[in-house]
Amino acid sequence: MRVLLGTVSLLFLLYTLSTTSFSSSILSRRAYNSWTDNPYLLRNDHASGDVCAAFPKHAFDSIQVVLKIGAAEVDSKLPAHLRTVSSCVPDLLIFSDFEEDIGRHHLYDALANLQQPYRSANPDFDIYEKIRQQRSAGKPLSRSSDGWKLDKYKFFPMMEMVWDMRQHKKWFLFIELDTYVVWDNLFRWLSHQDPSQALYVGSPVWPKDKPVFAHGGSGIILSQGTLHTLASKGQKMRVDGLPGSHQFGQDLREECCGDEVLAKVLSSHGIFLKGYWPMINGEKATTVRFGKNEQWCEPVITLHHLSEDDLDDMWHWEMKRHGSLKPLLFEELFLHIEPSLAPQRTNWTNLSEDIRITSPDLPGQSLEECARACSDETKCYQYQYRKDTCDLSYTFRLGYSQHFDYISDQEVTSGWILERIAEFKKYNSPCREARWVHSNP
């Protein structure tokens, strides 16, 4: 067994040197700005209990926030977002697949003007009609509804409608119900950008043989220049002058996602994504990979995949940051989840993934041997074990409860080398400056 683990450690070292994660190698070479702007949010105002008093009145004057949802989420997920992330947004536009009023908010039907050629022979729009019938009758919709299949059809109509409604705005931020926005960092970052330029910004996804696109759930930012270009092209394709009456000539039935097709159309007009991962991020605090070359001294602008409880927790924690003049960095985000780390947790995945050790010929391999393999490899911060499989990682994250691995149906146990994480913090904290990374691509 010792020979095996020694070999594994050597292979791990070679793997680390030759194939260090793409994101790490790219990030370590990326240039960045170290702006030292004053915060936009007035921290001392939180003492009054009115968190929105911390937002300057002019904060959203140039930014249009657009929330894309499904009708099945109105009763279940929308309330959490409206009391947290979007609670202080004065002019929030919400687009769904059914028009209705929820409290003081009007929900627009993004698909209302879409013409028949885009609906005919498309079973997805049978779902749309069913939603309209049920919602009109006051019947609740199940969260497991097939309404998610309509999501990709909303992108272009929604953007055309938004332009017609708010074309005077300089920036347009499109988010979803599980998106979290650190407004103070967003305001700081946008203050250094030029809205007259054709900017298309987000967290990049790199599909094979297709344009790189901004992941919708992480948030998509379009400048006034970009949305003007898109709307101008779409104006020529409108039916009876109606915004949202077409899909820019795209047949979306066989397409995966609307965010991917958006990149396709924008690229055809010479507008390409500027990717700002990790600042615009597809993870939440418990699943972020923390590390020197991953996510540490970079500011957090958005997070994704937050549940309703996650939104409440994150919002209340962020709003209690006392008098901090610094932007919220991943370093500080780690402090929020660090108390939940332990030497070992059963029925838990910490998402270790950098190298996998399997030993089908050694059924006696144990959790203890997996922990020792991580200990023997000096770059390893955490491990995850299930029968006959040991995963190691050279970044650290919390993860989440998982009683059985969904593929192997085996109990999962995770562990962290807390002394190494403490040593990492000793040499890498506090961050001397915020790293506002340049775009990639």
Give the global pTM: 0.90
What element of type H or E holds 166? helix 151-166
Say yes or no: domain 62-275 is CATH 3.20.20.150. no
Report in angstroms the alpha-carbon separations of 260 from 85, 268, 308: 25, 13, 26
- Return the domain boundaries, the chain: 2-33+282-437, 62-275
Determine the pLDDT at residue 361: 43
Determine the pLDDT at residue 177: 98
**pLDDT tens for residues 81-104?**
999 999 999 999 999 999 999 999
Asked if pLDDT for residue 196 goes beyond 70, the answer is: yes
Asked if pLDDT for residue 136 goes beyond 60, the answer is: yes
Determine the pLDDT at residue 57: 81
Asked if residue 378 lies in contact with residue 9, where contact means CB atoms within 8 angstroms, the answer is: no
Q: Which residues contact 201 (CB under 8 A, 6 or more apart)?
A: 214, 220, 221, 222, 223, 273, 274, 275, 276, 280, 439
What element of type H or E holds 26? helix 22-29
Asked if pLDDT for residue 248 goes beyond 50, the answer is: yes
Amino acid making up residue 35: W
**pLDDT tens for residues 353-404?**
998 988 764 445 789 999 999 999 999 999 999 888 899 999 999 999 987 6
> What spatial distance separates the first Cα and last Cα of the chain, rounded to whole Å?
45
